Structure 1
Amino acid sequence: MSSAAFSSRDTSAKSADDDPSADAPAASSGAPSDTASHTASGTPSGVAGASTPLTSGPPLSASHIFASNAAQRTSVDGVTAFIQPGGGATRASLSFRVGASDEPLPRRGITHLLAHLATNAAGIDSLLTPPTVSASITTFHFEGSAQQVANEIGAVCHWLSSAHDPANISPRTLDRHRDSAYADLVRHAGEHMDLLGVRLGPAGWAAGGLPEYGLANVGPAELSQWAKDFFVQGNAVLALSGTKTTTLRTPLPEGQAQPYRALDVPDLELPAWAPSPQAELSVGGLITLDSGHRDRDRAVCGLVSDIARAHASVAVRRKYGRSFAARSGTLALGDDHVHLALWGRVSDADESGVLAEVLESLRSLAEDGLAEGERAAHVKRRLDAYERHGQLPSGAHELLQRQAIGGLTGTPWSLPLERRLLGTASDVLIEGMITQLAETLIVRSHAPVGGLTPVSSRITVEAPARDAQTHRSRPAYGLLARGRPADERPRRILTDEHALTVRSLDRPDQQIRWNDVAVVESYDDGRRALLSHTSEAIDVRPEDWLHPGDLADVIDARVDPATVAACGVREPVEPRRAGITDRLPVWLWPVLIVVCLALVAAAVVPAWSGSFSWARWVIGAVGFVGLVVVGAFGYDVAMTERRLRKPPKP
């Protein structure tokens, strides 16, 4: 997003790498992640960065992979199930095709809250085993004896079924579990969300980067309708490994599978640069899949992620040493697109140099192609990682869950299929994807990157109407305030029937049109934080403005009520002190100057008798001092108003 301070709530309690959930669960434990809405390193630790020489070696035997992936596809009470029999503890994952990308922005978090209610209704401690919500998949996790898991699955499904009637959702229970949902907030795939927010805007596939406003205000009726739309038989899949009991039931209501949210890619001049509040390596590109070979291309995108990261790491380590570690991952955006991201931690001093090395490595890779044997080496390394991961009971279940989600979403995945698809990848295909990556790059960094178009250039700011209503900041005047922080300098908000415009003395106008507002954070104290569909953010805080109540009323009257997210009470903030010029109306300053001039003129007129000559000097002194003081303040007011009539040049 264009403003790191858009919301006071912290949705990044955990990083994406701490989230064990998601659509490609293998990633969290070291196996490659290349499809679905999850992000992680893409390869096991010790492989990232390709610090070891590339050697292709002989192909792996598929016998073990087939054996560890021998899942039975069946149906339990109308719900598709992938069951992998075995000994030990029983693990299960019940997934639904619904996630953050499906939620209206003012109701962000409705899926998370509904999942928490279902989990706690089944007697599961949501702090120990929380449900997980990614961009497009919601998953309930179970582990224990076969009978215990069967009972918990049945209880979750029974509650979801009963939730189709809002009368069965107790307001008291709902309020009690809002806090537990806040306790395990996870900013899913944050490395992708920040970049997607720049590329796509905040709604849809980038919605996971926003706070979960709905946790505070959605009610039983909204939750019930959400359950009817998404938590049904046809929109669910079950993955179960270990012992299966004959009492397993999934009593969900009938319903159809829900398609992915459509992806609308705005027209941008790419490659592009977007500002970040801190130094970081954050690079992302968009790969469009061949409609006739989607499964193959999805598998190859994961391979491209590994290759791009390896080249970037080698280039940076050559200059900055082995302490640098780049990471990479992919995020499937529906059926036809995959977002590929590279990220890493960098210092302020090294940020520009690291970014230059990474961008140059990607450019060289796109132009020069792969070295001989490089593709085969990366394929082997990737499949080795899958095989090692599948040898662990937890890892085998994560791969089974990934296979099940593929069955739900129509994107088939299995280890044998992955092996076969990667075997069909050619250097030409990989190089074509790398070219797509290089041509669609968006880079986020604290310092501007030369040669890249700022994304802010896509936003056209129109001049406010001549009769636009003017709202003054606190402080409203003070040309000497230029050395202060930006939010302590004189500013104006201009509102007309089309837009809200923020104007300052030293930077171009910032503007959000009313019909482009995606979401408005509304607080009880009058704070209004606006975010547009182009990720432009304007935070109107009452402590920064002279008449915040009037300003809040204007905003409330102009925005679409459907975009308002009620955020409740905000921590009290002391307003900035109002100066002398802020307390007096503008018209009073010329009046005071005229009065002072009159006093000076009265003192110099030779109409005073000798006995009153002392009064003449007193009046003259008062008039002169007043003229100097009032004139200085009046001059500051006049010059500030004059300079704020027109926006400064960029």
Structure 2
Amino acid sequence: MAGRTLEVNQTAIDGVPVVWADVPGPLRATLMFRVGRVDERLCWSGITHLVEHLALFHLGPKQKYDFNGAVTSNRTMFYASGEPADMVAFIAHVTASLASLPFDRRETEKSVLLAEASSRPVSPADLMFSLRFGARGNGLHRYKEFGLYHLTQPWVAAWAARGFSRENAVLWLSGPPPPSLHLTLPAGQRMPEAPASPMKLGLPAYVKAPVGGAGVSMVAPRSTPLAMAASIASDRLLKRLRYDKGIAYSVGGGYFPMDSQYAHMSLWTDAQPGQAAAVLNDTVHSVYAMSTEGPTAEELAEGR
């Protein structure tokens, strides 16, 4: 697909905006809602994640097509790929389930989510995010889901009705919408965008914590160049720390849009015992070199 310009098409089905581009391969569908952890409060956080799990429960562990769901800081997504008829069935299931969640499964899914959280390690990226935003807004995405210990059925039902309406949804497809596709969602209101609100900190700042690695992060205006720079800096750091020096195994780079204006960019790595200072120095240098020298022509070509 190198050098190919895709035509982006827009329409509406049952009051829901639908965006699609004709891409080769199986049909891919993502039903997205403007609701996520940023809309929650610490004491009842996890409620959106619980709705997502309940909505997918009756599909079981496996279908003849690939599917899953995810909750980010500011979005909830249900996505799948397969034949057009499969995507019609998947969207029909998700929309019907959101309107009538299987609450008899509520306590069991709470337990499943708590087990999922217990197996999720804390990375330098998690730490940097929570330190910058605190236990509120965008920072909640990195905190424990305390609501899973006490959320009641009426509370969850009201949250589903608020966040999962047709006014708060958009559907993305990798091909034309199948003629039999419907998006039967209840009426509601569009949830307003939650602005990125970092805490008032004295920056630049340095924090020492037992996370087994090092990292740097920043908040900056959203842009495609910034997203590409994060990816290139991560590739450079991986080559230097793992392949040249052999003092780290995993390197990650993140570019996370928080609202229509700003994104959180981070770069982090693990480290061999006794090498934390060295990997931190190289991590900072990778960001500095990108800001002062920029990418090479070869790196830009590979990133396109």
Which TM-score bucket, shorter chain as reference? 0.7 to 0.9
CA separation of 1:127/1:188 partners in 2, compared to 1, >3 Å: closer, same or farther? farther
Match of 1:112 among 49, 52, 68: 49
Distance 1:284 1:77 in 2: 41
The residue that corresponds to 2:151 in the other structure is 218
Q: How does the TM-score come out when normalised to structure 1?
A: 0.42
User: What is the TM-score normalised by the length of structure 2?
Assistant: 0.84
Aligned partners of 1:143 and 1:237: how far apart in 2? 17
**1:348 equivalenced with 2:280 (yes/no):** no
In the alignment, structure 1 residue 379 sits paired with structure 2 residue 290? no
The aligned residue for residue 286 of structure 1 is: 219
Inter-CA distance 241–351: structure 2 relative to 1 (3 Å threshold): same
- Contact 1:303/1:378 (<8 A) preserved: no
Could you say if the C-alpha distance between residues 127 and 103 of structure 1 is closer, same or farther in structure 2, counting changes exceeding 3 Å? farther
Q: Would the aligned equivalents of 1:200 and 1:266 in 2 still touch at CA under 8 Å?
A: yes
Given the alignment, which residue of 262, 265, 275 partners 2:198?
265
Aligned equivalent of 2:15, options 66, 70, 78: 78
Aligned length: 300
1:173 is aligned to 105
**Alpha-carbon spacing, 1:148–1:189, altered in 2? closer, same or farther (3 Å):** farther
After superposition, the C-alpha distances for 1:373-425 in whole angstroms (9 at most, x for unaligned) are x4543332211xxxxxxxxxxxxxxxxxxxxxxxxxxxxxxxxxxxxxxxxxx
Contact 2:125–2:268 (CA under 8 A) maintained in structure 1: no
- Checking the alignment, whether the CA contact within 8 Å between 1:116 and 1:130 is kept in structure 2 is no
Q: CA deviation at 1:323?
A: 6.2
Q: Which residue of the partner structure matches residue 359 of structure 1?
A: 284
Give secondary structure in 2 for the equivalent of 1:246. Answer: coil
SS in 2 for 1:118: helix
Residue 159 of structure 1: CA displacement? 2.9
Decide whether aligned partners of structure 1 residues 148 and 260 sit closer, same or farther in structure 2, where only a CA change above 3 A counts: same
- Report deviation, 1:313: 5.0
Which residue of the partner structure matches residue 293 of structure 2? 370
CA 221–350 in structure 1, closer or farther in 2 if over 3 Å, else same: same
The 3 A distance-change label for structure 1 pair 85 and 218 is same
CA distance in 2 between partners of 1:205 and 1:104 (Å) = 11
Post-superposition CA distance 1:307-348 (Å, at most 9, x none): 433554566579724865533121112122221111112012
Per-residue displacement from partner, 1:536-590 (whole Å, max 9, x unpaired)?
Answer: xxxxxxxxxxxxxxxxxxxxxxxxxxxxxxxxxxxxxxxxxxxxxxxxxxxxxxx
Q: Which amino acid aligns with 1:201?
A: G
Q: CA deviation at 1:127?
A: 7.3
Q: Which of residues 221, 228, 235 is equivalent to 1:303?
A: 228
Equivalent residue letter for 1:320? K
Q: Which residue of 1 aligns with 2:259?
A: 334
Structure 2, gaps ≥5 residues long? none
Task: Give SS of 1:94's match.
Answer: strand
**What is the CA–CA distance in structure 2 between the aligned matches of 1:95 and 1:243, rounded to whole Å?**
17
Alignment match of 1:101 (pick from 26, 34, 38): 38
Alpha-carbon distance in 2 for matches of 1:342, 1:77: 42
Q: What letter corresponds to residue 179 of structure 1 in structure 2?
A: S
| 1:147 aligns with one of 85, 89, 94 | 85
Counterparts in 2 of 1:361 and 1:144: CA distance versus 1, 3 Å: closer
Q: Which residue of 2 aligns with 1:320?
A: 245
One-letter amino acid of the counterpart of residue 131, structure 2:
V
Of all paired residues, the percent bearing the same amino acid is: 24
User: C-alpha separation between the residues in 2 aligned to 1:280 and 1:323?
Assistant: 9
| Aligned-partner Cα distance in 2 for 1:268–1:320 | 34
Question: Per the alignment, in what secondary structure is the counterpart of residue 74 of structure 1?
Answer: strand
What does 1:147-546 correspond to in 2, within 5 Å?
147-162=85-100, 170=103, 172-182=104-114, 184-185=116-117, 191-241=124-174, 244-287=177-220, 289=221, 297-309=222-234, 312-313=237-238, 316=241, 320-321=245-246, 326-363=251-288, 366=291, 369-370=292-293, 374-383=295-304
- Which amino acid letter does the alignment assign opposite residue 107 of structure 2? D
Match of 1:175, as an amino acid? E
Which AA in structure 1 matches 2:300? Answer: V
Task: Return the letter of the residue paired with 1:381.
Answer: E
Distance 1:348 1:86, change over 3 A: closer
Cα gap change, 1:247/1:61 in structure 2, threshold over 3 Å: closer, same or farther? closer
Q: Does the 8 Å CA contact 1:312/1:362 hold for their aligned counterparts?
A: no
Q: 1:246 to 1:198 in 2, by over 3 A?
A: same
**Structure 1 residues not aligned, in runs of 5+:** 1-59, 164-168, 290-296, 384-650
Matched position secondary structure for 2:293: coil
| CA spacing shift, 1:238–1:348, aligned 2, 3 Å | same
User: Residue 86 of structure 1 contacts residue 243 of structure 1 at CA under 8 Å; is this kept in 2?
Assistant: no
Please identify the structure whose Cα radius of gyration is greater: 1
